[in-house]
Amino acid sequence: MAVNKFTRVIIVITTISAAIMELIDTSIVNVALNNISGNLGATLEDTSWVVTAYAIANVIVIPMTGFLSRYFGRKNYYLASIIIFTLASYMCGASSSLWMLVFWRFVQGVGGGALLSVSQGILFDAFDPSEKAKASGMFGMGIVIGPTIGPILGGYIVDNYAWPLIFDINIPFGIVASLLTWKFIDKKENEYNIDRKSIPIDYIGVLSLSAGIGALQYILEKGQSDDWFEDSTIRIMTATAVAGLAAFIWWELKTKTPIINLRVLKSRNLIGSNVLTFVCGFGLFGSVYLFPLMVQRVMGYTPTESGLSMIPGALVTIMVMPFIGASLGKGVSPMFFVVTGFGLFILHGYTSAQATPDADKWWFMYTQIFRGVGTACLTVPLLSQAVVGLKPQDMAYGISLNNMFRQIGGAFGIAIMNTYSTQRFAVHRSDLVSNLQGNNPLMNERVAGVAQGLISKGVNPIAANAHGAWSNLDRTISGQAQMLAYLDGFLLVSVFFVCTIPFMLLLKTEKMDAETRARVAAEAH
């Protein structure tokens, strides 16, 4: 599609802005969870649904993007997605309860699912074949900038304004992107007079996937607080998850027109790469979820400070990704980067787990750099390994599956980290309390010192001794238990990566032509 320079500039601005907008919303909420929890009167465990609802919607929609583009026409689907995303953003900001916010975050994720893959397709069509590498580079920078801006922007907004603004800022950008899409992005020839009757819809596949993933996510989120299988709802959700996922696999292998072609999983490279990608998503999303909570709730960071503390990881990702792309182009084996990335993520989890309450921002810089370089080393190389051995007509399915597994890993990572840290908090608090002995002179001296401090400030001596000093000790114990629980969560990241190292043995390496390599790099979002 030949376009003039002005239209090309508009298309570049529109597509990259839409992609950045979607990516910002995957990370901007993390630094605001503490404030949202307090403002809406919800537990942090329930508030984590604000993040996972968006991820679940992405898991469901991303594999369906190709089908939806064919069925509605790419431009129509893209424009509708931007409008849905923008309207849902407004409703998120206007939400007066947690579950209202969770619902609209899910709708926002449905709209956001198209903003990456469709954006890059539209962008690439605006460039001549000889310039597609330039387009890939611009889009790649855009998808790295989004997660970088998100925590910083979210922290600044929460500290200086109110959390609803983290959603409301999408509205003007969404309106402008909608107008530019409607005016400047043309339809392709196959988007006119679409014969929708000839395009079968895999209703069973969509419904069974949605039911299975949604129920499994509920189990992971609520199992700990609801006493697992002692709760009837958990038992029902378990049956739903098993039945839904089993029906999805059976149907997708049976039907001639699957929404996701699971037959490509005959490739051992794709199986191994998907497992490793799942763990990569688990580690990335899980650690990015834990870090702001730990430094805000235990170490006293402001949301802005916690966002700024995550900059080093994002910056090194930006710097390292072009080097990795160039190295792959020169024939360096993707396995070199996969092994390096796994080692760095293991190091990230282990070093993060060594943090102390008085660790400064410079100490965390190193752990964030490990995560950033590890992410860069795994994103494109794992996707490169996923498509090895696939036929050209199956490559799109392989890429789609790999991206889906990353999103599923991220959703599960957040849920498991949330549940695990809650369980470990209870264990650590119980252990710390059991060590308190009434005849311990150091403890009695501390309680007496706190009581005297309260008395000097005018507190009634009886209240100071009976309640104030012991309440202070209780808060100290809870804070220490919370810190230990978060550190256990980081260590769990390392354990997951170590346990999946054997899946690397499934991967074999083949040389990849320039066109395939460019396509893989473009799809690695």
How does residue 313 score in pLDDT terms, banded at 50, 70 and 90? confident
Query: Taking the domains of the chain in order of start, what are their residue ranges?
Result: 1-194, 442-480
How does residue 519 score in pLDDT terms, banded at 50, 70 and 90? low
Predicted pLDDT of residue 222: 77
Tens digit of each residue's pLDDT (9 = 90 or more) over 18-38: 877 887 877 788 788 888 988
Q: How far is CA 397 from CA 58, 385, 387, 481, in A?
A: 16, 14, 9, 45
| Arithmetic mean of pLDDT, 106-131 | 79
Predicted pLDDT of residue 276: 93
- Whether the predicted pLDDT of 447 surpasses 70: no
Q: How far is CA 145 from CA 110, 158, 311, 379, 411, in A?
A: 22, 20, 11, 15, 21
State the amino acid at position 256 in one-letter form: K
Q: What global pTM score does this model have?
A: 0.78
How does residue 444 score in pLDDT terms, banded at 50, 70 and 90? low
Predicted pLDDT of residue 97: 92
- Whether the predicted pLDDT of 165 surpasses 60: yes
- Whether the predicted pLDDT of 114 surpasses 70: yes
Closest CA to 179 of 26, 71, 8, 18: 18
- Whether the predicted pLDDT of 143 surpasses 90: no
| Arithmetic mean of pLDDT, 407-432 | 85
How does residue 228 score in pLDDT terms, banded at 50, 70 and 90? confident
How does residue 514 score in pLDDT terms, banded at 50, 70 and 90? low
Q: Which residue has the higher pLDDT, 202 or 494?
A: 494
- The rounded distance, in Å, linking the Cα atoms of 104 and 110 is 10
Predicted pLDDT of residue 292: 86
Q: Which residue has the higher pLDDT, 333 or 460?
A: 333
Query: Among 90-99, 127-136, 344-353, whose mean pLDDT is lowest?
Result: 127-136
Q: Is 272 left (phi over 0), alpha (psi -120 to 50) or beta?
A: alpha
In the chain, % of residues over pLDDT 70: 84
- The rounded distance, in Å, linking the Cα atoms of 465 and 460 is 9
Predicted pLDDT of residue 2: 53
Query: Among 120-134, 223-237, 340-354, 494-508, whose mean pLDDT is lowest?
Result: 120-134
CA within 13 Å, CB half, 485: 28
| Arithmetic mean of pLDDT, 457-477 | 62
Q: Name residues whose C-beta falls within 8 Å of residue 260's C-beta, 6 or more positions apart in sequence.
A: 63, 205, 209, 252, 397, 400, 401, 404
Tens digit of each residue's pLDDT (9 = 90 or more) over 51-71: 888 888 887 887 788 788 888
How does residue 245 score in pLDDT terms, banded at 50, 70 and 90? very high
| Arithmetic mean of pLDDT, 445-465 | 61
Predicted pLDDT of residue 464: 55
Predicted pLDDT of residue 440: 62
Predicted pLDDT of residue 437: 61
- The rounded distance, in Å, linking the Cα atoms of 172 and 180 is 12
Query: Among 156-160, 180-184, 432-436, whose mean pLDDT is lowest?
Result: 432-436
- The rounded distance, in Å, linking the Cα atoms of 12 and 123 is 6
Cα dihedral sign, 495-499-505-506 = negative
- Whether the predicted pLDDT of 489 surpasses 90: yes
For 28-73, where are the alpha helices, taking DSSP H only?
Answer: 33-39, 44-47, 49-61, 65-72
What is the average pLDDT value for the chain, to the nearest integer? 82
Q: How far is CA 222 from CA 32, 168, 215, 418, 488, in A?
A: 21, 29, 11, 10, 20
| Arithmetic mean of pLDDT, 408-435 | 84
CA within 13 Å, CB half, 182: 10
- Whether the predicted pLDDT of 210 surpasses 80: yes
In the chain, % of residues over pLDDT 90: 21
Predicted pLDDT of residue 7: 83
How does residue 39 score in pLDDT terms, banded at 50, 70 and 90? confident
| Arithmetic mean of pLDDT, 413-424 | 86
Query: Among 7-21, 278-292, 443-457, whose mean pLDDT is lowest?
Result: 443-457
CATH code at 1-194: 1.20.1250.20
